[in-house]
Structure formats: structure tokens, C-alpha cells
Structure 1
Amino acid sequence: MRQFTHVVSIRTSRRGLVEITREIRSWVAAQQVSTGLLTVFCRHTSASLLIQENAAKEVRTDLEAFFEQIAPEDPSRYAHDDEGPDDMPAHLRTALTQVQLSIPVMDGQIVLGTWQGIYLFEHRQRPHQREVVLHLLGE
């Protein structure tokens, strides 16, 4: 059994979904692990991870709109606003999604469905530098 780690740095430009599947696929393939498990971990409390459809852009648009409805920017609703009006809504959106994914590796590739992609979900309005840690365990 072998294990590998890597940090993917992602520059976001605004709130929304950023597909990171290509970078992850490429890194996993380079490790030459035929069978294993990949853990993808987001090191932030105001950004998260999703596996979601990557074919229709409307899916991402609708997801972003849904999260704006359930965790709106409304300064009168939240006590925590240390970094501005999008601070607490960003934490709520992260709490409702996830910061860690587990993805099987078979025949040297991550196993995703035909229309699935891996996304970093930026929950803040302004640009950020985000880090996603990859941990691959396998043989």
C-alpha cells in the first residue's frame, strides 16, 4: 500500500462553483496507483466541495441561486460579520455542503459518473486563494 499527498491551489474570482476535476484527474494518473481511495479536503470554512453535474451550466447557476435563498446576505440576520455581510452566509453554506470527498480509484483513474465533476464551491464574494489537499491511498 502506497500513499501520496498534494495541495491544489485554486484562485477564485467570485462566489460560485469552480470545476477542479481536470487537475485532480491529472495528479491521480501521475501517481500510477491502479486501485485505491482518494480523499479531497478543502482547508477553509467559507468554501466547500461538491460532486455535481458538469455538462449543463444551468445546474451550477441554479445551485448558486438556491444557496443565495437559504443563506442570504442580510446583516440584520447574523451576529457574526467580522469580514463583511457575506461572512456568516459563507459559513452556513459550507456547513450545508461538505469539505471532504472520498472518491474510489480504479484502473488508475478516479471513478466518477459520466456527467460528474468535482467542484470547489466558493461562498465569498471577493476573490480568494483556496487550498484543496489530495490524499491518495492505494496500490
Structure 2
Amino acid sequence: MKTVTERISVGLEAETGMEDITAEVQDAVEKSGLHDGIVTIFIIGATGAVSTIEFEPGLLKDVPRALENIAPSDIPYEHHLTWGCDNGRSHVKSTLIGPSMTVPFTDGKLTLGTWQQIVAMNFDTKARSREIVIQILG
């Protein structure tokens, strides 16, 4: 077994900024020289997340709207009272989606569906540059 770790930075807009990072993850797998294994994608930070989505304009609107229904911006959060900040909903959203995911790869190619892209997400109330760890095991 061999492990290869890469890091990338992605600039993300505030409040559910999403960026397709599939190509960067695929490039890291190809550069690793490994043929079969798994790749874990992890975003650093308490208000970021990683998931898969069909990266198309409709869903780029639908996902934020659905998450707003789950963790609305117009209600009080205990996090605000504790820390004097405004991003309690950001923490709730990132907790629900999660900071990492694992994708298998075969013959050096990610095993993803036709309409399935890997996305980095920022739920914070301000734009952020997020560091993403790509760890390949094979």
C-alpha cells in the first residue's frame, strides 16, 4: 500500500459557495501513479464541506435553498450568543454535509457517475479560501 497526499486551495463565495474540484482530484490520482484504490477529499475548516452533486445551474440554486430551510439565516443560534458571531447556521450546514468523502478509483480513474461531480462548499457568512487535502491510498 502506498499513500500520496496533495493539497489544493479553492476560493469560495460566502453562504453556500460551491466549486467543482473533480478535475483537481482526478489530476492528483493520475499524478500519484496508483492504479486502483481510494481517494479521500477533506476540507479544512469548521464551516466547509465536501460532497458530490450534479454541478448544474438548477442544483446550484436548489441546494442552498434547501439548506436555508433546514438552517435558516433569520433565527437566533446559541453559537451567536456564545461567540458574538453570525455564522451559527454555517456550522449547522457544514455538520450536516460533512468535511470529507471517499471515492474509489480503478485504472487511475475516479469511479463517479456521469452527472456526479466532487464539490467543495463554503457555508460561512464570508467568502473564504479553503484548503483541501486529497489523500490517495492504493
TM over 0.5: yes
Show CA shifts across 1:25-76 (max 9, x none): 111111111101101111111010111112x3101210011111211113x5
Answer yes or no: is the 8 Å Cα contact 2:14–2:125 preserved in 1: yes
Unpaired runs of 5+ residues, structure 1, are none
- Establish whether residue 91 from structure 1 lines up as the match of residue 91 from structure 2: yes
Show CA shifts across 1:10-37 (max 9, x none): 1113222211111111111111111011
Please state how far the C-alpha of 1:83 moved relative to its aligned partner.
Answer: 6.2
Please state how far the C-alpha of 1:126 moved relative to its aligned partner.
Answer: 1.6
- Establish whether residue 33 from structure 1 lines up as the match of residue 64 from structure 2: no
Answer yes or no: is the 8 Å Cα contact 2:7–2:134 preserved in 1: yes
Unpaired runs of 5+ residues, structure 2, are none
Answer yes or no: is the 8 Å Cα contact 1:18–1:122 preserved in 2: no
**TM-score normalised by structure 1 residue count:** 0.90
CA RMSD of aligned residues (A): 1.4
Equivalent runs, 1:23-102 vs 2, <5 Å: 23-54=24-55, 56-74=56-74, 76-81=75-80, 82=83, 84-85=85-86, 87-102=87-102
Answer yes or no: is the 8 Å Cα contact 2:12–2:128 preserved in 1: yes
- Establish whether residue 114 from structure 1 lines up as the match of residue 114 from structure 2: yes
**TM-score normalised by structure 2 residue count:** 0.91
1:104 aligned partner, one-letter code: P
Task: Name the count of aligned residue pairs.
Answer: 135
1:13 aligned partner, one-letter code: E
Distance in 1, matches of 2:84 and 2:113, equals 38
1:71 aligned partner, one-letter code: A
Distance in 1, matches of 2:129 and 2:121, equals 13
The runs of 4+ residues in structure 1 deviating greater than 3 Å are none
1:127 aligned partner, one-letter code: A
Show CA shifts across 1:70-110 (max 9, x none): 11113x5212123632x100000011111110100101111
Higher helix share: 2
